[in-house]
Structures are given as structure tokens and as C-alpha cells.
């Protein structure tokens, strides 16, 4: 299941940070460190911290695991923020746990389902992961998630590649299958009546401007465009992400 890490003062509220695939909670460390004085929870997805993955791959199982871990720490209301797969899971939590989710941060993500072609690609990638033959595509795919500007940062590229290479094969396969099976959840935002932010890197090669705008419209807000960033804004521009999340937390909970 998932594993959580807590930072800051004890509280029954928190900022919960869900990482992009194929990364663990380290993707959010730079953001968490800049949210000093606020209660923050970072999350390792199922299978990434040595725990067993659920039998059935689904974002619902991931969301349930996170909700259970938060309840065990006495956390009752959250601002849940996710990047890429983390955003898909944040939307799942907003749908399934409306009393828990008070606000949402959607960063380098979208609310639509996979196309049939993308689902097939994820299924094939899961098979390659379990066979141990997916390392080249992990390395290349990781770099492609960054914006063109960030791709020039060799140190950042190497850090992300090392994290991706460390991801357990079973966890990688599980996450691919969980994402492949997700439905679209744009309607969740329209019905949720919660505050939220939508952040998109101007150079994002995955999430289109139209996809980000659709989420912002559903939340009745504006897209926050971050220059010189791609799909992984939490590690490409952590100070910007931290500032907006901190402001949203203060608005909702203080």
C-alpha cells in the first residue's frame, strides 16, 4: 500500500502531496521544505516503499490507502495536491472522500481518461516492467517529462533518471494498470464545490493548455502558467508551487 511522511506541526489538517509516475515522495521534497510551519504529508505510491501493492490495480485503492493512513494520524481535512498520476489520484480522493478533501491542487495533470491507444500502451509497459525490459524507456521517458529548458539541466535529469530506475518493477506495473483503468473525472471538479488551483508548465509536453483550462473552468479559477517548465513543475519550479499551495492552505484553513 502507500506510505506517508509527515512534516511540520501536528494538526488535523494538512497539505497532502501525491507524486507523478514513476516517482516516489522525493519528487515533492523541495516543495515540502518550503512549506515550513505548515503541516505537510508526502506520499509514496503503492509498492514504492517496500509495502505490498493491492491485489487489484486501481486509483481507488491508492486513494483509499492514503485516506486510511491520514485517518490513522488524526488528519481530518486536507488540501490534496498531485502532479500527473498524483493529480489523477487527487481527483479520485475528491470524488470518494468529499468530507476529507477541502481543497485541491492540480499540477501538471488533467482530468480525462486514457485513450484506447494509451491504455494499450500502459498495459504493454506493465508487462515490460515485470519482465525487466523497461529500463531504457524509463530513462528516456523521464527526460521527456521535463520542459525543454529543464532538459538542459543535466543534474536534474540524472536525479530523475535514478529515481525512476529505483522504482520496483511490481509497483511500476501496478501503477500503469491503475492509470489505464481510470475514468474521466472532470465532472468531479464541477460538482465538488471546493477551492483549488491548476498549475501548468508552459513547456508541458503531456498536459495541453486546453486540458488545464477545462479543469480551471470547472473550479472557477484561472490556470497558473509557469514559464520554462514542463510536466514536473514541483521539481522544476518548487518555490512557485510551494507559494501557491501555501496561499491556498491559508485561505481554506486559517
pLDDT tens digit sequence for 77-127:
999 999 999 999 999 999 999 999 999 999 999 999 999 999 999 999 999
Point out which residues pair with 143 in neighbouring strands: none
Separation between Cα atoms, residue 226 and residue 236, nearest integer Å: 10
pLDDT tens digit sequence for 89-102:
999 999 999 999 99
Q: Is the pLDDT of residue 254 over 90?
A: no
Average pLDDT of the segment spanning 129-158: 94
Pair type for strands 101-107 and 195-201? parallel
CA–chain centroid gap for 235, Å, is 12
Separation between Cα atoms, residue 139 and residue 164, nearest integer Å: 7
CA distances from 210 to 95, 108, 155, 196 (A): 22, 12, 31, 17
49 band by pLDDT with thresholds 50, 70 and 90: confident
Average pLDDT, the chain: 97
Question: Closest Cα to residue 91, out of 55, 66, 71?
Answer: 66
Q: Is the pLDDT of residue 52 over 90?
A: no
Q: Is the pLDDT of residue 140 over 90?
A: no
pLDDT tens digit sequence for 30-44:
999 999 999 999 999
Do residues 161 and 142 make contact, with C-beta atoms less than 8 angstroms apart? yes
pLDDT at 1: 80
- Strand residue runs (E) in the chain: 3-7, 13-18, 40-44, 77-83, 101-107, 195-201, 223-226
pLDDT at 40: 99
51 band by pLDDT with thresholds 50, 70 and 90: confident
pLDDT at 241: 99
Domain boundaries of the chain, sorted by first residue? 4-112+182-253
pLDDT tens digit sequence for 167-224:
999 999 999 999 999 999 999 999 999 999 999 999 999 999 999 999 999 999 999 9
* Fold for the domain defined by 4-112+182-253: Rossmann fold (3.40.50)
Count CB neighbours of 59 within 10 A. Answer: 24
CA distances from 241 to 58, 82, 237 (A): 27, 11, 7
Amino acid at each position: 500500500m502507500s506510505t506517508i511522511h509527515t512534516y511540520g506541526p501536528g494538526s488535523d489538517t494538512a497539505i497532502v502531496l501525491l507524486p507523478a509516475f514513476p516517482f516516489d515522495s522525493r519528487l515533492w521534497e523541495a516543495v515540502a521544505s518550503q512549506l515550513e510551519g505548515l503541516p505537510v504529508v508526502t506520499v509514496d505510491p503503492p509498492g514504492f516503499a517496500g509495502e505490498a501493492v493491492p491485489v487489484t490495480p486501481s486509483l481507488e485503492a491508492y486513494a483509499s490507502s492514503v485516506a486510511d493512513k491520514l485517518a490513522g494520524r488524526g488528519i481530518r481535512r486536507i488540501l490534496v495536491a498531485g502532479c500527473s498520476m498524483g493529480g489523477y489520484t487527487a481527483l479520485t480522493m475528491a470524488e470518494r472522500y468529499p468530507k476529507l478533501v477541502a481543497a485541491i491542487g492540480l499540477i501538471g495533470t488533467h482530468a480525462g481518461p486514457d485513450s484506447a491507444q494509451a491504455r494499450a500502451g500502459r498495459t504493454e509497459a506493465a508487462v515490460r516492467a515485470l519482465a525487466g525490459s523497461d529500463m531504457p524507456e524509463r530513462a528516456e521517458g523521464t527526460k521527456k517529462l521535463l520542459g525543454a529548458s529543464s532538459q538542459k539541466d543535466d543534474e536534474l535529469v540524472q536525479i530523475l533518471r535514478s529515481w525512476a530506475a529505483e522504482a520496483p518493477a511490481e509497483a511500476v506495473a501496478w501503477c500503469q494498470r491503475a492509470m489505464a483503468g481510470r475514468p474521466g473525472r472532470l465532472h468531479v471538479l464541477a460538482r465538488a464545490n471546493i477551492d483549488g488551483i491548476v498549475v501548468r508548465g508552459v513547456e508541458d509536453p503531456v498536459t495541453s493548455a486546453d486540458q488545464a483550462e477545462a479543469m480551471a473552468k470547472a473550479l472557477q479559477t484561472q490556470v497558473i502558467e509557469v514559464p520554462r517548465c514542463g510536466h514536473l513543475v514541483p521539481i522544476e519550479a518548487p518555490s512557485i508551487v510551494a507559494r501557491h499551495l501555501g496561499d491556498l492552505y491559508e485561505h481554506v484553513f486559517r
